[in-house]
Amino acid sequence: MGIFIVGGLGFGSPGRASDIPAPAHPEAVIAAGSGVNLGITRLLAKAFVEENQTITIDIPGSIGTKGAIKAVTDGAITLGLVSRSLKEEEKNLGLVEHPYARVAIIVGAHSSVQEDTITTRQLIEIFKGTRTTWKDGNPIIVQAREKSDSGFLVLQAALPGFREVYTESHDAKRWTLYFNDQDANRALSNTPYAIGVTDLGMVATEHLRVKALKLDGIAPDMERVRNGTYPLSRTLSFIYRPELLPDEAKRFLGFVSTEAGKKILQENGYLPLP
């Protein structure tokens, strides 16, 4: 009849690198991870490769911070792109963390929205489902992310009362969910009257038609991120296994810290870190 007793069926942890496709080029540096980092990393890599023609840097699509940690641990990629600090158990995996920029996380709205600012209370009401229209009467379209998204995690930590509302909205399946940053950014940029969470860097690098709303009257800019006046920000880092880090990759990390690299970062809304 095709009915099975499945008690004996077992699953192990994913196998090690046996199915990883071989690098396209012998010198290629593969950098993969959080979608947050992708745009700026590609700009940095482009500038670096122009100076170092022999080196290839391959940056595939988003696999998330967690995916980056696993892939680096497995040796599947050279550099991992992460948009949050490593947790203790992740640090114990023998990974080195190289933070290089900070960026303001923003509550963004589609350019069609008239409002320039939003309060924490309004944000909570929107996610609770009790505030459904903008001032001009147009509907508010919420573009949400999976629970573990690093941007929403920062909002949950920084804005009192938001965590409960966001968790409840997930349980109620109230919003459309996007499971990577680029999908979410596209949806926010392409949907009139939409609201979502992204950051200043992605708005610049991905050329999004998204307006950064002032939060409780405070505009998100580099200076306010630096002095801590604006509460929402995240740190972008590279992670790697030092014993497996090739020279090409070391040179790329060095380039990011140069004035040229910092300039690229600043031009795209990032605050370079020393």
Partner 1 sequence: MIRRDKQISISRELSKKLLPVSLIICLVISFLIPGAYSYLEFKRLKNETSLYARQLSDSIRQLAAGSPGLWKYQATKYSEIIESFVPNKGIFSIAVLDGQSNPITQFSHREKTQGLFSQFAIQGEPASILFNNQKIGEIWIHLAAGSFLVKALTIFILCLVMGGSLSMLVYRMPLVGIKSLEQQLLDYQNSLEELVIQRTTALQETTEKALQLAEARRHDQEELLEAKASLEQRVEERTKELQDQVLAKELALAELATAQSSLLELSRAAGMAEVATGVLHNVGNVLNSVNVSCNLIMNQVRESRMGNIAKVAGLIAESGADLGRFLAEDPRGRQIPVYLTSLSSVLLEEQQLILRETEALQQRIAHIKEIVTMQQSYGRVSGVLETIAPEQLMEDTLKLSAGALARHEISVERQYRDVPPITADKHKVLQILLNLINNAKYACAGLEKEKIITLRIFCSGPDRLSMQVSDNGRGIPSENLTRIFQHGFTTRKSGHGFGLHSGAIAAKGLGGSLSVHSDGLDLGATFTLDLPIFQETAHDAR
- What is the token pair recorded at 184? 């979410």
> Out of 71, 101, 215, 253, which residue is the one contacting partner 1 (CB under 8 A)?
71
Question: Of 192, 41, 201, 196, which is closest to residue 110 (Cα–Cα)?
Answer: 192
Rounded to an integer, what distance in angstroms lies between the CA atom of residue 107 and that of residue 215? Answer: 7
Chain-centre distance of CA 63, in angstroms?
Answer: 10
- Across the chain, which distance is largest between two alpha carbons, in Å? 69
The mark string for 150-189 relative to partner 1 (x by CB under 8 A, - otherwise) is --------------------x--x---x-xx-xx------
Chain positions 25 to 44 lying near partner 1, rule: CB under 8 A, are: 32
Question: At closest approach, how far in Å is the CB of 151 from partner 1?
Answer: 15
Of the pair 74, 125, the CB lying nearest partner 1 is at 74
The reply to whether 147 sits near partner 1 by the rule CB under 8 A is yes
User: Looking at 72-80, 133-141, 209-217, 259-267, which segment touches partner 1 (CB under 8 A)?
Assistant: 72-80
Query: At residue 2, what is the residue type?
Result: G
SS3 call for 201: helix
Binding residue (CB under 8 A) for partner 1 from 51, 146, 223, 247 = 146
Q: State how far the Cα of 158 lies from the Cα of 156, in Å rounded to an integer.
A: 6
Q: Does residue 8 interact with partner 1 by CB under 8 A? A: no
Residue 60, interface with partner 1 (CB under 8 A)? yes
Is 20 a binding residue for partner 1 by CB under 8 A? The answer is yes
**Beta bridge pairs of residue 272:** 101
Find out whether 201 and 270 touch, Cβ atoms under 8 Å: yes
CB under 8 A: which stretch of 1-9, 83-91, 237-245, 265-273 binds partner 1?
A: 1-9
Integer Cα distance of 208 and 134 in angstroms: 20
Cβ closest to partner 1, residue 19 vs residue 243: 19
Strand 29-33 relative to strand 194-199: parallel, antiparallel, unpaired? unpaired
Interface residues with partner 1 (CB under 8 A)?
1-7, 9, 11-12, 14-15, 18-21, 32, 60-64, 66-68, 70-71, 74, 76-77, 146-148, 170, 173, 177, 179-180, 182-183
